[in-house]
């Protein structure tokens, strides 16, 4: 996959990132380098990460975490059940290790259809989409009692403590930590199996992402003393970011999380992150005058993004472009067109209609109000 750098855009595969003329505060996209107090805090996110489960290992990203689990299973003859609503990075380690993959579907509002399916001696991969919990802990225990291995992806739902109550040798929790925290790299595996092992090495791959985060920080915090062309600066950090993401699509090698990511986690307060995300999410639910919510507010156990659904792809893209013109960059989780089989109609239709609104800890209620104004004053 080639990245092309133009005068006012960056093309990455099938995605085009426009360098707009918007001059206000930008909302969304990857985390910039955070403001740090340069002191170790006993209430830091790092402490929560290492104390929420007995056994854990930090890795470079989420797909490395999945591959580490599969390497420990070391049995690619087991059938692996993956959700049909999924991204490439989840499937990649299964394909690399030649596991036998089958998909399972969903009903309306992304509720997994696993009840009633007789699954034994297999691997079941579950995603808690956007912080929801449609497969209960009791149902997971039933899968485990049926000689299955369960891998739970909490990248969208890391703040849901209920999931960490499950204890079983064949149960694994994985997460991509970059989804929630402003770090250049980071993934984690939580496990119970006493024989679990992982061989890691050092990698400098994260340095390009760190450079992108630093450049983005300077871009967002520009002032008259910075003698730089901001549009060129934005092209540069997007270019470094996409180079970093492109390299991750190559063969997955397991390596340690970087020290700079650990240091950031030791200087970030989990309670502040949860409080800010939850407050922003609640504000949007109370102030968006649309009936486009994918989930009811009380179905979300952990705040990630706000997923909205629109009538069709054209209307979704109209809103996505309008938000971008006003400095709000809303991603799509996920484009499944070339990832899951076309027979899963609900998943493919949802992929055409969904849009994720940023709510993370970088933003205040004033920022959420701006998003509401854009959405509420749009004829869709």
Give me the pLDDT at residue 126, please.
98
The confidence score (pLDDT) of residue 377 equals 92
pLDDT of amino acid 242 = 93
Q: Is the dihedral of CA 151, 152, 153, 158 positive or negative?
A: negative
Per-residue pLDDT at 134 exceeds 90:
yes
What is the torsional sign of CA 5, 7, 13, 16?
positive
Q: Which residue has the higher pLDDT, 211 or 221?
A: 211
Q: Work out the pLDDT band at 5, boundaries 50, 70, 90.
A: very low
Residue 318 neighbours by CB distance under 10 Å = 15
Query: What's residue 230's pLDDT?
Result: 84
- Residue 4's pLDDT is what? 41
Position 189 pLDDT exceeds 50 = yes
Alpha-carbon distance of 8 to 10, in angstroms, equals 7
- Give the C-alpha separation, 52 to 32, whole Å: 27
Which one-letter DSSP state was computed for residue 112? Answer: E
pLDDT band at 14 (very low <50, low <70, confident <90, very high): very low
User: Residue 48: left (phi > 0), alpha (psi -120 to 50), or beta?
Assistant: alpha
CA 158 to centroid of chain Cα atoms? 10
Q: What is the mean pLDDT of residues 233-243?
A: 93
Mean pLDDT (the chain, rounded): 92
Residue 3: is its pLDDT beyond 50?
no
pLDDT classification of 18: cutoffs 50, 70, 90:
low
Greater pLDDT, 247 or 230: 247
pLDDT computed for residue 232 by the predictor: 87
Q: What is the pLDDT of residue 20?
A: 59
pLDDT digits (tens, 9 = 90+) for 62-107: 999 999 999 999 899 999 999 999 999 999 999 999 999 999 999 9
Q: Which neighbouring-strand residues pair with 58?
A: 188
pLDDT band for 118, please (50, 70, 90 cuts): confident
Cis peptide before 154 (omega within 30 of 0): no
Q: Between residues 380 and 191, which one has the greater pLDDT? A: 191
300: pLDDT strictly greater than 90: yes
Cα(265)–Cα(138) distance, integer angstroms = 32
The SS3 assignment for 359 reads coil
For 109: left if phi > 0, alpha if psi spans -120 to 50, otherwise beta; the answer is left
Which strands make up the sheet holding 15-18, listed edge to edge?
3-5, 9-12, 15-18
Q: What is the widest separation between alpha-carbon atoms in the chain?
A: 65
Structure tokens that stand for 303 in this block:
């705040």
Q: What is the pLDDT of residue 229?
A: 79
Counting beta carbons within 10 angstroms of the beta carbon of residue 218, is it exposed (0 to 12), middle (13 to 18) or buried (19 or more)? middle
DSSP 30: S
Helix (H) or strand (E) holding 269: none
21-30, 113-122, 320-329: range with highest mean pLDDT = 320-329
Please provide the size of the chain in residues.
Answer: 380
pLDDT of residue 273: 95
């Amino acid at each position: 996959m080639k990245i092309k750098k133009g005068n006012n855009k960056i093309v990455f595969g099938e995605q085009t990132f426009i360098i707009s003329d918007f001059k206000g505060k930008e909302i969304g996209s990857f985390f910039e380098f955070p403001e740090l107090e340069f002191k170790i805090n006993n209430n830091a996110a790092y402490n929560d990460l290492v104390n929420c489960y007995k056994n854990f290992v930090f890795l470079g990203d989420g797909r490395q975490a999945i591959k580490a689990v599969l390497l420990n299973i070391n049995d690619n003859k087991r059938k692996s059940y993956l959700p049909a609503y999924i991204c490439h990075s989840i499937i990649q380690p299964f394909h690399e290790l030649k596991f036998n993959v089958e998909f399972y579907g969903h009903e309306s509002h992304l509720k997994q259809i696993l009840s009633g399916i007789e699954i034994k001696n297999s691997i079941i991969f579950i995603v808690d989409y956007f912080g929801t919990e449609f497969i209960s802990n009791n149902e997971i225990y039933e899968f485990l009692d049926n000689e299955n291995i369960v891998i739970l992806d909490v990248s969208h739902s890391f703040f849901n403590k209920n999931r960490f109550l499950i204890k079983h040798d064949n149960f694994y929790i994985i997460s991509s930590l970059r989804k929630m925290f402003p770090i250049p790299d980071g993934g984690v595996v939580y496990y119970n199996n006493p024989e679990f092992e992982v061989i890691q090495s050092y990698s400098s791959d994260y340095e390009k992402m760190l450079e992108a985060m630093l450049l983005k920080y300077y871009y967002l915090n520009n002032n008259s003393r910075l003698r730089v062309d901001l549009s060129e600066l934005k092209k540069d950090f997007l270019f470094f970011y996409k180079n970093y993401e492109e390299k991750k699509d190559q063969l997955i090698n397991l390596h340690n999380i970087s020290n700079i990511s650990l240091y950031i986690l030791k200087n970030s307060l989990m309670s502040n992150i949860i409080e800010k995300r939850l407050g922003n999410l609640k504000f949007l639910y109370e102030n968006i005058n649309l009936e486009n919510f994918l989930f009811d507010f009380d179905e979300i156990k952990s705040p990630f993004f706000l997923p909205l659904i629109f009538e069709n792809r054209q209307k979704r893209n109209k809103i996505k472009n309008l938000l971008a013109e006003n400095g709000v960059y809303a991603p799509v989780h996920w484009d499944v067109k070339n990832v899951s089989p076309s027979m899963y109609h609900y998943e493919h239709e949802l992929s055409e209609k969904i849009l994720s609104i940023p709510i993370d800890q970088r933003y205040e209620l004033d920022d959420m109000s701006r998003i509401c104004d854009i959405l509420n004053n749009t004829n869709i």
